[in-house]
Amino acid sequence: MRGYIDKSLNYEEYITLIDKLLGEGKTTGPKQSHAMLHYGKLNRRRMERLENTIELSEETRHAISNVRRRMIWLIITEGWCGDAAQNIPIIEKIAAESGNIETRYILRDENPELMDRFLTEGARSIPKLIALDAETMDVLGTWGARPTVAQALFHQLKDQGIAKPLIMENLQRWYNDDRGRSLQAEFVDLVAWWDEDKKQTAGA
């Protein structure tokens, strides 16, 4: 995994890359079109809005600030992805509550071999977060590509035969209504699990 970490980006570098490409009329990934550029611009605006408006709960802040294990959260993503735009700014705020958590970003379509090791229900769904022990590079767990409630909604709408564009519109409305609450709750539990043996060692 260290090779992927070495070529990954921090959050500022990831945002700079997206903005540079958008300035050139492009988005990330090999597939370029007016539609993909539209999604890239739309999702960049979503990210900016979330960066400025999302606030973490006291429970989230408390849980993350108590993390003892040094972790790297390697996040597979693309700039055009709606789920990434809705989740990554919140994940970044969560990670920033701990000096022991570092986030790194890597593009899916440039790293298919990595993506294929961490599929979601057999699909290359993003964003996909891989939690790593910063010292050993052991995989502690994963998260993605969307909160459990949102994933259940996706399957419900898909089972009803609703077209994918309409499914994605419904998901975006769900994200807007949820305002990151579900994601924060999931990460409180996940981070406790990933950090567990460090807490036990410290208490021994």
Domains and CATH numbers, the chain: 2-197 (3.40.30.10)
Residue 201's pLDDT is what? 45
Work out the average pLDDT over 142-171.
96
Q: In what order do the strands lie in the sheet with 128-133?
A: 101-107, 71-77, 128-133, 139-144
- Residue carrying the six token digits 């986030």: 103
Assess whether pLDDT exceeds 80 at residue 198: no
pLDDT, tens digit (0-9, with 9 covering 90-100), for 6-17: 999 999 999 999
Assess whether pLDDT exceeds 90 at residue 196: no
Three-state DSSP at 123 gives strand
Q: E strands along the chain, which residues?
A: 71-77, 101-107, 128-133, 139-144
Work out the average pLDDT over 118-128.
96
pTM of the entire structure? 0.93
The number of residues in the chain equals: 204
Burial 120-147 (b: 16+ CB within 10 A, else e): eeeeebbbbbbbbbeeeeeebebbbbbb
Q: What percent of the chain shows pLDDT beyond 70? A: 96
Three-state DSSP at 13 gives helix
Q: Give residues with Cβ within 8 angstroms of 186, minimum separation 6.
A: 143, 147, 148
Residue 199's pLDDT is what? 52
